[in-house]
């Protein structure tokens, strides 16, 4: 079940990325709409984070390509905000909440330009929106999981992007933060922004997303929530019916696979 859209926010064609010789995502073809909250779902190791990283160009595709707003990612980076997994960084790093949020402004400043008053205003406003302004001087090592995630979101908001790509923003956050985050996502959506969110809780997915991308190394489905959230598709994604696929992947890891295009 793959539904395509016209004027997509994001388009993947034949996207294949190997992780240490093993296919992590494999021949993904899909288009995503604009102005929606899109959930990327799949079991552990199904390639969700890999997909996000290859959209951002952090991982280079072994085959195929991705286009964002119908352009190469390098041409539209200023329109895209990437929120990595919270656990991917060391929260003992000597810095405070405000400094982290300020990093969001660098995307428009580059390495050398000075921050202006407007920049600092934007950062301040972003911190207010995630309710972290009162904690702006706090060391990031002293934050709870939810506060860490909200700090990351403040940094993303400061980028003033049109597309937000978030890796597990709900993982390990408290209920209040989860509520605040989903509120923020909806607010961004109402302003016409597109949100691409990796998520793994099936139960809450129903209430959060407009569109689903179901992933299990291969693409299981991409389309509006109502059409995708079916027992059949979900069990295909999560149910382990694709065991022969993983056996083939293991063989490829050992023997290699001739890639067609590159």
Partner 1 sequence: MEKITEFFSFSDTTILTVTLGSILLGILGSVVGVFTYLRKRVLIGDVIAHSVLPGLVLGFLVLNEKSFIVLLIGALISGGLSSFLVDYITHHSKLKTDAALALVLGVFFGFGTFLLTKLQGHSGASQAGIDAYLFGQAAAIDLFDVQVIGVCCVLLLLTLLIFFRGFNILSFDEQFAYSIGMPTQWLKFVLTSMTIITVALGVQLVGVVLMSALLITPTSAARFWTSKVKIMLLLAALFGAFGGLSGALISYLNYRMPTGPWIVIVLSFLAFLSFVFAPKKGVLFRLFSNVFFKIKIQKENILKDLFLLENETIEIEELQEHQPSQSVFNRWVQRILVYEKKIKKMENRRFTLTALGRAQGSKIFERHKLWEKYIGKYMHLMRDHVHTDAEGIEHIIDEEIERDLKSSI
Decide whether 159 or 222 has the Cβ nearer to partner 1.
Answer: 159
Decide whether 111 or 231 has the Cβ nearer to partner 1.
Answer: 111
Decide whether 43 or 57 has the Cβ nearer to partner 1.
Answer: 57
Rounded distance, CA 204 to CA 217, Å? 22
| 31 alpha carbon, distance to own chain's centre | 15
Q: How far is the CB of 150 from partner 1 (least distance, A)?
A: 16
- Residue 245: exposed, middle, or buried by beta-carbon count in 10 A (0-12, 13-18, 19+)? middle
Rounded distance, CA 49 to CA 46, Å? 9
Q: How far is the CB of 220 from partner 1 (least distance, A)?
A: 26
Decide whether 155 or 193 has the Cβ nearer to partner 1.
Answer: 155
Decide whether 4 or 87 has the Cβ nearer to partner 1.
Answer: 87
Q: How far is the CB of 248 from partner 1 (least distance, A)?
A: 22
Q: How far is the CB of 53 from partner 1 (least distance, A)?
A: 7
Decide whether 65 or 91 has the Cβ nearer to partner 1.
Answer: 91
Decide whether 38 or 225 has the Cβ nearer to partner 1.
Answer: 38
Q: How far is the CB of 179 from partner 1 (least distance, A)?
A: 15
* Interaction site with partner 1 (CB under 8 A): 53, 56-58, 74, 77-78, 80-82, 84, 88-90, 93-96, 100, 103, 106-107, 111-112, 139, 141, 155, 159
Q: What is the 3-state secondary structure (H, E, C) of the chain?
A: CECCCCCCCEEEEEEEEEECCEEEEEEEEEEECCCCEEEEECCCCCCHHHHHHHHCCCCCCCEEEEEECCECHHHHHHHEEEECCHHHCCCCCCCEHHHHHHHHHHHHHCCCCCCCHHHHHHHHHHHHHCCCHHHCCCEHHHCCHHHHHHHHHHHHHHCCCCEEEECCCCCCCCHHHHHHHHHHHHHHHHCCCEEEEECCCHHHHHHHCCEEEEEECEEEEEEEHHHHCCHHHHHHHHCCCCHHHHHHHHHHHHHCCCCCCC
Q: How far is the CB of 34 from partner 1 (least distance, A)?
A: 20
Q: How far is the CB of 242 from partner 1 (least distance, A)?
A: 27
């Amino acid at each position: 079940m793959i539904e395509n859209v016209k004027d997509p926010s994001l388009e993947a064609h034949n996207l294949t990325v190997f992780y240490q010789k093993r296919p992590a995502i494999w021949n993904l073809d899909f288009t995503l709409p604009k102005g929606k909250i899109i959930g990327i779902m799949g079991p552990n190791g199904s390639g969700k984070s890999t997909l996000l990283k290859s959209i951002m160009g952090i991982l280079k595709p072994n085959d195929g390509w991705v286009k964002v707003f119908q352009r190469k990612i390098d041409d539209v980076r200023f329109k895209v905000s990437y929120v990595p997994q919270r656990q991917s960084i060391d929260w003992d790093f000597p810095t405070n909440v405000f400094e982290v949020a300020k990093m969001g402004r660098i995307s428009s400043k580059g390495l050398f330009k000075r921050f202006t008053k407007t920049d600092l205003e934007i950062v301040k406003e972003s911190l207010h929106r995630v309710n972290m302004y009162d904690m702006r001087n706090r060391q990031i090592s002293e934050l709870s999981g939810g506060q860490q995630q909200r700090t990351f979101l403040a940094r993303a908001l400061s980028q003033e992007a049109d597309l937000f790509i978030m890796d597990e923003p709900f993982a390990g956050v408290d209920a209040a933060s989860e509520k605040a985050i989903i509120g923020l996502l909806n607010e961004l959506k109402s302003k016409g922004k597109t949100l691409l969110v990796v998520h793994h809780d099936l139960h809450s997915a129903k209430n959060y997303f407009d569109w689903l991308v179901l992933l299990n190394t291969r693409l299981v489905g991409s389309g509006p929530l109502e059409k995708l959230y079916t027992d059949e598709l979900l069990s295909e994604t999560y149910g382990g019916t694709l065991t022969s696929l993983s056996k083939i992947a293991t063989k490829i890891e050992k023997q290699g696979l001739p890639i067609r295009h590159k």
